[in-house]
Structure 1
């Protein structure tokens, strides 16, 4: 029995909901994208949205032309305005990532992804900084300086990888960062700019970034990096499989920037994990499973100990880095599939959104909080075996002694919501259906029904102001339990035994 204290041990960090990732930004022009984002915000409510492609050709901001024999540049914000208006209208702000290179400005032809984001430095640094200044000046003019000052500005994405930056040239990235950061500050000195948005395995990049920033007196307002826990990809047609490190490896990666930057000029700056997930592949079926929710539950519960934000990559399977998906469930990064089917990891986040502000306890398999009105909430998860050598335990039990209100005696109303291998799991239902690549309307209705968490209700006795909660979790289950003191208003003449007209002594 774990006795949960009455006194909180601090506020529950909300770093888990500070930001979420997205496919390239011009996808936000699509109706299914906006429908998915609306559902996400209704059930969870993230504060910021980060994605690639702000300056790529898809949004069409950089538009060079010739006039009277001279090459000139026009900056068009038609699509950008529509994207940001849609996001802001749904209560989510942009976490601006400056990239990739507009093709007409690029120094080379190397691209990444199916949609061909150019990853080479600018052919003309001034043309690049003009673009940065024009874009941010437009945003300040349209949305106001006070608002845009709350939008972090990140310079590029994973420059330590040759796929995302020509030759992973560190010195070239430092030159790009320096020119870009000064351009950002020229628009408004209070805009927040940072980087270097490196991937796992970027040994020494953060330390050298700090040295460079100090040596050159370059503005840095926050530090960013990414975190993934998967091994090399094993390819089969349209899908990959990968080994996984224990989930604690992700927490170690979250903590790495503060360790690496201790004693540097960048020590103490906000740390943003601007991408994280288990697998770095958008076609790994592990993303669709109940295992994934249980695997990530301790990361979501504890990540705020190590970073100011950690952004799940991504909120939706409306995402095309490796091409147009070939099936409804295809291993996409999203919390939601196309057609807004909620995956088990979506419910993990939705459960977190119903937790209280005060943290009472946290363990290897549970998190306990309390709301301002006295309601106690428990998030619990079953342990997983990330090696895959075993399926994980069939059952996992947890016994908690919980504070349950101010009255010494009485009862607590218990509301429980759960997802596991069978319940709240559209992926399992889809597999039982035979994995239809394009489910018919009736099948989609069944899958939406299958994605609903299992729900149960009962009462617990309260003795000495505490309730004893026994939980049995199925394999890979994530469950949310909410306890509310019962104020019983049942009239004295009510008797369930009389429902069928029986006489009761």
Structure 2
């Protein structure tokens, strides 16, 4: 038994909800996307949202034209306004990623993804700077300077990879960043600009990037990188399988930027992990599983100790980097499938959203918090084997002594997700894995996605509850303990439900 202290150990970091990822932001023009984001915001409530493609051709911002023999540029924000308006209406702010390159401004034709985002440097850095200034000035004019100052502005995405930045040319990226950062600050000195948004395995880039910005006195308000733990892709039709490292590898990556920047003038800068997940592939079935929720639980519980934010990639399976998904469950990044079917990892986030602000205890398989009204919340998870060599234990016991500021009894509410509960993917497999479920099948899947719930009274002794939990394989569970005030009338007698006489 673990005795949970009555005194708080500190505040529970909400770095896990600072930002969430999305497919290219153009997708926000679609109904299913907005329906999914609305549900996510209602039940979880992220603060920022980051995705690719703000300046790509699909958003139609950069519009050169010829008039009276002169080449001119018109900047159109029709789609940008619709997207940002939708975000703000749902209580979420942009985490702006400046990219990719408009084709008419690009120096080359190399593209990435099914939707062909151009990843070449600008043929005119002056015109690129003009595009950045025009975009930010429009946003400031429309939404107000105080508002836009709260939106971090990240320059490009994973420039260390040749797929995302032509030739992975580090010097060319440094020039792009320098021009962009100065353009941002010309609009307003207090706008937040940062980078380099590198992928795992390129930590030396961050060191050289920090040295470059320091030597050249280039503005830098935050640093960013990404984190994944999967190995090389083993391809099958419309999917992949990959090995996974332990989830602690994500925490190791979260902490790397601060370790690298120790002793520099950038040591105190905010660190944003602007993408993280287990696999970096949007077609890996592990994303749909109960295993995935249990795998990531310790990351959400502890990640805020290491970074100012860590952004789950992504909130929805409306995501088309390798093409339109071929089935409802296809291993997509999303917390939600299309049609808003909740996955087990969605429930992990929803459970975190119900935790209290005071952190009482944290262990290898549990997190205990308290609300201001005295409610105590416990998130517990069954350890997993990320190697896949074993399925993990059939059961895992958690035994806690919980302080509850009440006498007599507490009301216990338990919500459970495992291989059979809160797991629509399991039900989908049972029904034959229909690629396009019919309306009635969708109803069943939404029903299957609901966590199992139970309720009971728990006796207290000396202001403490003896909480014994037995978790199934790959289970995450949320227990909420509420001080109980019994208002049952004195004449209530369950034995008289069928009209019997009082004993």
TM-score, with normalisation over the residues of structure 2? 1.00
- Partners of 2:501 and 2:470 lie apart in 1 by 39
Aligned to 1:429: 427
Aligned to 1:403: 403
Preserved contact between residue 5 and residue 360 of structure 1 (Cα < 8 Å)? yes
The C-alpha deviation readout for 1:18-38, integer Å capped at 9, x for no partner, is: 000000010000000000000
Mapping 1:228-239, distance limit 5 Å: 228-239=228-239
Instruction: Tell me if 1:360 matches 2:347.
Output: no
- Partners of 2:3 and 2:212 lie apart in 1 by 50
Mapping 1:130-169, distance limit 5 Å: 130-169=130-169
Aligned to 2:16: 16
Mapping 1:426-465, distance limit 5 Å: 426-465=424-463
**Cα shift at 1:70:** 1.5
- Partners of 1:3 and 1:219 lie apart in 2 by 48
- Partners of 2:329 and 2:258 lie apart in 1 by 37
- Partners of 1:471 and 1:495 lie apart in 2 by 31
Mapping 1:204-219, distance limit 5 Å: 204-219=204-219
**Cα shift at 1:502:** 2.3
Aligned to 1:391: 391
- Partners of 1:182 and 1:263 lie apart in 2 by 25
**Cα shift at 1:69:** 1.6
Helix, strand or coil: the match of 2:485? coil
Helix, strand or coil: the match of 1:292? helix
Helix, strand or coil: the match of 1:204? helix
Instruction: Tell me if 1:502 matches 2:500.
Output: yes
Counterpart among 450, 467, 471 of residue 473 in structure 1: 471
**Cα shift at 1:404:** 1.0
Preserved contact between residue 151 and residue 192 of structure 1 (Cα < 8 Å)? yes
The C-alpha deviation readout for 1:278-317, integer Å capped at 9, x for no partner, is: 0000000000000000000000110000000000000000
- Partners of 1:58 and 1:3 lie apart in 2 by 56
Aligned to 2:98: 98
**Cα shift at 1:501:** 2.0
- Partners of 1:480 and 1:461 lie apart in 2 by 19
**Cα shift at 1:256:** 0.2
The C-alpha deviation readout for 1:393-417, integer Å capped at 9, x for no partner, is: 1100010000111x4x300000000
Aligned to 2:191: 191
Aligned residues: 503
- Partners of 2:203 and 2:291 lie apart in 1 by 30
- Partners of 1:97 and 1:155 lie apart in 2 by 6
- Partners of 2:428 and 2:403 lie apart in 1 by 41
Aligned to 2:411: 413
Aligned to 1:55: 55
The C-alpha deviation readout for 1:364-411, integer Å capped at 9, x for no partner, is: 000000000000000000010000000001100010000111x4x300
Helix, strand or coil: the match of 2:295? helix
Mapping 1:295-306, distance limit 5 Å: 295-306=295-306
**Cα shift at 1:499:** 1.1
The C-alpha deviation readout for 1:437-465, integer Å capped at 9, x for no partner, is: 00011000000000001100011111100
Counterpart among 462, 484, 487 of residue 485 in structure 2: 487
Helix, strand or coil: the match of 2:460? strand
Helix, strand or coil: the match of 2:368? strand
The C-alpha deviation readout for 1:207-249, integer Å capped at 9, x for no partner, is: 1011101110000000000000000000000000000000000
- Partners of 1:467 and 1:501 lie apart in 2 by 36
In structure 2, stretches of 5+ residues that fail to align are: none
- Partners of 1:372 and 1:491 lie apart in 2 by 29
- Partners of 2:262 and 2:225 lie apart in 1 by 16
- Partners of 1:261 and 1:128 lie apart in 2 by 29
**Cα shift at 1:504:** 3.6
The C-alpha deviation readout for 1:158-194, integer Å capped at 9, x for no partner, is: 0000010011011100000000000000000000000
Helix, strand or coil: the match of 1:105? coil
Aligned to 1:73: 73
Preserved contact between residue 261 and residue 267 of structure 1 (Cα < 8 Å)? yes
Helix, strand or coil: the match of 2:457? strand
Helix, strand or coil: the match of 2:59? coil
Instruction: Tell me if 1:341 matches 2:341.
Output: yes
Aligned to 1:372: 372
Preserved contact between residue 227 and residue 253 of structure 1 (Cα < 8 Å)? yes
**Cα shift at 1:498:** 1.3
C-alpha RMSD of matched pairs (Å): 0.6
Preserved contact between residue 210 and residue 265 of structure 1 (Cα < 8 Å)? no
**Cα shift at 1:349:** 0.2
